[in-house]
Amino acid sequence: MKELSQKRAVCAMPIAGSYRSIDFTLSNMSNSHIQKVAVLTQYNAGSLNEHLNSSKWWDFGRKQGGLYVFAPAVAADNSNWYRGTADAIYQNLNFLKSSHEPYVVIASGDCVYKLDFGKVLEYHIDKKADITVVCRDMEPDTNIERYGTVSMNEENRIEEFEEKPIQAKTNTISCGIYVIRRRLLIEMIEKCAEEDRYDFVRDILIRYKDLKHIYGYKIQNYWRNIASIEDYYGTNMDFLKPEVRNYFFKEYPDIYSKVDDQAPAKYNVGANVRNSLISSGCIVNGTVENSVVFKESYIGNNCVIKNSIILNDVYIADNSYIENCIVESHSTIRADSRFVGEDGIKIVVERNERYVL
């Protein structure tokens, strides 16, 4: 994610004007009637912790269950950062041991999708599976080598699992979502820790594929991972398509997020906006085309914004031209500036002079 991940965790990346990436996973869990959720954070978790400061937005503020946030902590027997997914779970194993739910859903927070985990669990039980992996057939032009690929037999049992292969043999990828019985997960995680192994995919899924019944559950609907600049840009641009917006925001179940009480966007005389998402708190004076503008941004007179993503609280002074760019939050773009992504997407990070003493 280059400069974009220098100040925030990837799962805290803004999406579709008013949301964060993690909102989609948390909303899916809430809509699937999962009441007890733990978020394992590590890198640059400040903005993520601020976003998760109240569990009420996703309806986790209940007497039963709740939303728990765990970060690496120094203990008598361990002072490591999380070295992988399995190690992150191991360092918080007491949370699992003190829980009473029979099954666990493991999901990454950097994906944009809708999914009923209840249906995945029904499938998991019906197949008598040890582990169920949510999979998807990707489009032919997708860079499959970025993902873990799976090969399944006619009964959907996974026979091969390759993590980020040099040359992919299949276009079916793992979405990074797993269902597993809680007691089995504890047993496997403890076994990994004994052997000083810490990667969930390599040290559990791949090692146990012949010993355990690991099945794939295929989804057909929209799913994207935002772990690269191109995917992040493409995902936000997808929300300019009416069918994608309607799928996420007008079709049940809903996607929830922390609500900021901002004034509606204001369009002054001279504003010209076409096929764009303009968030609350914005003031627009110039031209905006095929772009996503996040909260509290200001676009000056005679500015032209095309095919770009303007993150939160950006000030763009008069007569500026921005095309094929992602402008980092809290940036101040000086008057008469010009930023154009000639060979791909350009990241614009300008020091914010508004807050300099």
Q: What is the CATH number of the domain that holds 123?
A: 3.90.550.10
pLDDT in tens, 250-277: 999 999 999 988 999 999 999 999 999 9
Domain that holds residue 114: 2-249
Distance of CA 144 to the CA centre of its chain: 18
212 and 130 both lie in a single domain: yes
Structure tokens at 108: 């990454």
Residue 296 pLDDT class (50, 70, 90 cuts): very high
Which region among 126-135, 202-211, 290-299, 306-315 has the lowest average model confidence (pLDDT)? 202-211
- The rounded distance, in Å, linking the Cα atoms of 271 and 111 is 34
Residue 333 resides in a domain: yes
The pLDDT value recorded for residue 351 is: 76
Residues 280, 143 share a domain: no
Q: Which of 143-152, 212-221, 318-327 has the lowest mean pLDDT?
A: 143-152
Query: Is there a domain that residue 148 lies in?
Result: yes
pLDDT (0 to 100) of residue 357: 46
Residues 153 and 220 grouped into a single domain:
yes
Q: Are residues 230 and 270 in the same domain?
A: no
The answer to whether residues 124 and 91 belong to one domain is: yes
pLDDT given for residue 28 in this prediction: 97
> Which residue, among 163, 214, 197, has the nearest Cα to 90 in the 3D structure?
197
Same domain for 44 and 138? yes
Residue 352 pLDDT level (bands cut at 50, 70, 90): low
pTM metric for this prediction: 0.94
Model confidence at 61: pLDDT above 90: no
Would residue 142 count as lying in a domain? yes
**What's the whole-number mean pLDDT along residues 161-171?**
87
Question: Phi/psi of residue 323, each to 5°?
Answer: -145, 135
Give the C-alpha separation, 252 to 240, whole Å.
19
pLDDT of the residue at 144: 87
Which residue is associated with the tokens 């949370």? 95
In a domain, 214, yes or no: yes
Task: Decide if pLDDT at 197 tops 60.
Answer: yes
Confidence bin at 81 (pLDDT 50/70/90): confident
CA distance 349 to 225: 23
Question: Which of 323, 346, 143 minimizes the C-alpha distance to 229?
Answer: 346
Residues 138 and 7 in one domain: yes
- 233 and 281 fall within a common domain: no
How many domains, in total, are found in the chain?
Answer: 2
Structural contact between residues 239 and 292, judged by C-beta atoms closer than 8 angstroms: yes
Are 279 and 236 contained in the same domain? no
- The verdict on 206 and 294 lying in the same domain is no
CA distance 77 to 328: 40
**Do residues 226 and 10 touch, judged by C-beta distance below 8 A?**
yes
Query: For all residues of the chain together, what is the average pLDDT?
Result: 93
Cα end-to-end span (Å), the chain = 31
d(Cα 124, Cα 348) in Å, to the nearest integer?
Answer: 45
59 in any annotated domain: yes
Please tell me whether residues 208 and 82 are part of one structural domain.
Answer: yes
Helix, strand and coil in the chain, % to nearest 5: 25, 25, 45
Q: What is the pLDDT of residues 84-111, one digit of tens each?
A: 899 999 999 999 999 999 999 999 999 9
For residue 222, give the 3-state DSSP assignment.
coil
> If we measure between CA atoms, which residue out of 70, 64, 84 comes closest to residue 41?
70
Parallel, antiparallel, or unpaired: how do β-strands 292-293 and 272-274 relate? Answer: unpaired
Query: Which one of 249, 275, 305 terminates a domain?
Result: 249
Strand order in the sheet with 338-340: 272-274, 287-289, 304-306, 321-323, 338-340
- What mean pLDDT do residues 292-298 have? 97
CA distances from 258 to 48, 123, 254 (A): 11, 32, 13
| Domain end marker among 194, 221, 249 | 249
